[in-house]
Amino acid sequence: MSFGRPYIMGTTGCIHDGWLVLKPGKIKVDPDYLYHLLGSAPVFAQFAKRATGTTVKNLNTQIVSETEIPLPDFSEQQRIAAILDEVHALCRLRRQSLSRLSDLGQAIFFEMFGNPVINPHDWPRVPLAQCVVNADDIRCGPFGTQLLKEEFTEAGVPLWGIKQVNKGFAIPTHEFVSEAKAKTLSNYDIVPGDIVMTRKGTIGNCAVYPHDFLPGIMHSDLLRLRLDRKVCDPVFLSDQLHWSADIERQIELISGGAIMKGINVGKLKQIRVLLPPMEMQDKYVERMRAAQTEKHRMLQHLGALESLFASLQHRAFRGEL
């Protein structure tokens, strides 16, 4: 449940004090029209402006009942609702398709390589250290004393943290260091193709540093895995780290701590991963790229549909539809 968001009840029952119920009155109102109207930006703005509470916004019956809304005759309400319902349904179908596509990656992985716990194809299990050229290619970020907050700048070399890794680098960083400072932290740099993993907080989450990003520096609560590309592909390994219950169990075993859990780099180098032939890994990456291309196309289509819906909604409640 979220503030100001309308729902149409599909069943009977009781509500708790976090809800308000609107029931039909003397004036004939189409419920679908009212649903779209209450979810529109102008009505939400009225709710937000008058809502009580500083930390958590709250509505009450007086605020809602005093909110002014456009109410054309019933047939016009039905016409508007039908148009908005159609586009709204298209948006919902596109979101469902995207959700299924998000599950496709794991399905492709398991189809090609099997469940890593069972390892039905009997792929070699090797220590993570065998997937890199040098021991220092698996490294944690700088110690706190090596990078102080007062050394952050508004521009320069990007500094990446847990938040960005958890979102697959889909959100930007607002922390930077100077070129000079970055040189002193060159052992902690990350470049396109590196796997970056969280070692505290959301332990074990990882993402491949994007190919079109400039080199950056990692925070102390991250780890970098710079692979030997002749042995292991970063997309393949990153997905294995995501989806293997066996690796999840191994990471859990090495990240225990009495006060604060965190991954020990030395022990991380010894966790065992599946290592199929590079030819198989390359085929997997090719299929994943095709899936990502389709996902990007779907996201663009969804964005266009959502923009169309917002435009129609805006025009409808101004009497311009």
Could you report the per-residue pLDDT of 48-78, keeping only the tens digit for each?
A: 777 776 666 777 777 777 777 888 889 998 9
Residue 112: pLDDT over 90: yes
The pLDDT score that the predictor gives to residue 259 is 47
Closest CA to 281 of 313, 246, 236: 236
83, two tokens: 């148009």
Return d(Cα 312, Cα 81) in angstroms, integer: 11
> Which of 71, 89, 107 represents a domain boundary (last residue)?
71
Structural domain boundaries, residue 19: 1-71
At 187, the pLDDT band (50, 70, 90 cuts) reads: very high
Return d(Cα 207, Cα 223) in angstroms, integer: 11
At 262, the pLDDT band (50, 70, 90 cuts) reads: confident
Same domain (yes/no): 131, 262 = yes
211, two tokens: 């190919």
Other Cβ atoms within 10 Å of 274 Cβ, number: 21
Residues 6 or more apart whose CB falls under 8 angstroms from that of 25 comprise none
Same domain (yes/no): 86, 53 = no
Return d(Cα 116, Cα 109) in angstroms, integer: 10
Same domain (yes/no): 298, 169 = no
Rounded average pLDDT over 28-36: 86
Instruction: Give the dihedral sign, CA 93/98/102/104.
Output: positive
Q: Look up the pTM and report it.
A: 0.76
Return d(Cα 119, Cα 240) in angstroms, integer: 12
The pLDDT score that the predictor gives to residue 3 is 67
Lowest mean pLDDT among 66-75, 227-236, 270-279, 295-304: 66-75
At 241, the pLDDT band (50, 70, 90 cuts) reads: very high
Same domain (yes/no): 13, 136 = no
Total number of domains constituting the chain: 3
Same domain (yes/no): 46, 96 = no
